[in-house]
């Protein structure tokens, strides 16, 4: 991408989109376009088409999505499949019709079968049953991958798809009902410390293992792929190692400085037992994650404290 290319970042206020926007600005890309959901409803095809037709957009980072943790996925399955299908269908089709040069579609590693071998290789897609708790979201993302591939085959577009592992970073969602595990734990331990609560409940048994990628690493990987990768095959983005939820809870407890007890609530579902991605492909292309988990957690906790102080 040349530095003055018109680049649209869809979902620029979210964890991933805001990191991509920061990375592009840091790298000197000056012609960036973005809209909040109140300014442009990506679920509305006419609005999306008008937006693309009235701006000479050359590149698209499609990071807009409805996302959430286990509880949100269980309570709002219809919202997750409907909103994500609408967002990606509208943006991908409008990008094709507006002759966008290249689009990067961001999926998720929850597209892989629940019991797929570890680490998860790109070719495991569609080889088994999905994790039931996030199936609606996963099916929508798989549809997005298939849509990009299909447009490439039929129309000769350059639409690529990347599958990031579990994300964390500044601008994360710290709402305890809808957040993912890492930001939820940061908030739980912080509030327990502030309020002198003797114990913190962690959902599940603590045994599942998860991989965590800092959003700044993901943004760097997305820019790398946009500039260096072509093809119909999906590409995993991850760090290549994982940690149990129990170990994660203990690490966050230590960083926050909480002295109480951790209690695991095994009545809450664990979800997939393990979800480590194989990063051989992206490493071979020339990109590797660089932010260690503890360092990333310390920076995220610091930014959480700043935001928390403003809101409380």
Residues that constitute the known binding site for substrate: 188, 203, 210, 270
Among 137, 151, 168, 301, the one annotated catalytic: 137
Asked whether the beta carbons of 229 and 235 are under 8 A apart, the reply is yes
Active-site residue, 124 included: no
Binding-site sequence positions: 11-17, 106-109, 141, 180, 188, 203, 210, 270
Asked whether the beta carbons of 189 and 262 are under 8 A apart, the reply is no
- How many CB atoms lie under 10 A from the CB of residue 306? 10
How far is 208 from 200, CA to CA, in rounded Å? 18
Asked whether the beta carbons of 145 and 125 are under 8 A apart, the reply is yes
Binding-site sequence positions for NADP(+): 11-17, 106-109, 141, 180
Could you tell me where the beta strands, DSSP code E, fall in the chain?
Answer: 7-10, 32-33, 59-62, 102-106, 159-164, 166-168, 199-203, 209-210, 212-214, 235-237, 243-244, 261-265, 274-275
Q: Which residues pair with 213 in a beta bridge?
A: 167
- How many CB atoms lie under 10 A from the CB of residue 231? 11
Which active-site residues does the annotation give?
Answer: 137
């Amino acid at each position: 991408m040349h530095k003055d290319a018109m680049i649209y970042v869809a979902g620029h206020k979210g964890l991933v989109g805001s990191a991509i926007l920061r990375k592009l600005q840091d790298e000197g890309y000056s012609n960036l376009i973005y809209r909040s959901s109140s300014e442009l409803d990506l679920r509305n095809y006419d609005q999306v088409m008008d937006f693309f037709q009235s701006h000479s957009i050359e590149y698209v980072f499609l990071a807009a999505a409805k996302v959430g943790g286990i509880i949100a996925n269980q309570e709002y399955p219809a919202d997750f499949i409907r909103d994500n299908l609408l967002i990606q269908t509208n943006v991908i089709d409008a990008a094709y019709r507006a002759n966008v040069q290249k689009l990067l579609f961001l999926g998720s590693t929850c597209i892989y079968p629940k019991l797929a071998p570890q680490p998860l290789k790109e070719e495991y897609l569609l080889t088994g049953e999905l994790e039931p708790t996030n199936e609606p979201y996963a099916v929508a993302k798989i549809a997005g991958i298939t849509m990009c591939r299909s447009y490439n085959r039929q129309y000769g577009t350059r639409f690529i798809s990347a599958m990031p592992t579990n994300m964390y970073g500044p601008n994360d969602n710290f709402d305890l009902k809808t957040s993912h595990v890492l930001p939820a734990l940061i908030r739980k331990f912080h509030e327990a410390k502030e309020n002198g609560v003797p114990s913190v409940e962690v959902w599940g048994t603590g045994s599942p293992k998860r991989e965590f990628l800092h959003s700044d690493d993901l943004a760097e990987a997305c820019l790398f792929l946009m500039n260096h990768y072509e093809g119909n095959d999906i590409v995993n983005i991850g760090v290549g190692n994982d940690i149990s939820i129990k170990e994660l809870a203990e690490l966050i407890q230590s960083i926050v400085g909480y002295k109480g007890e951790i209690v695991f609530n095994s009545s809450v579902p664990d979800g997939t037992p393990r979800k480590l991605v194989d990063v051989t492909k992206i490493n071979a292309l020339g990109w590797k994650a660089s932010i260690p988990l503890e360092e990333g957690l310390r920076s995220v906790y610091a930014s959480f404290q700043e935001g928390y102080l403003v809101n409380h």
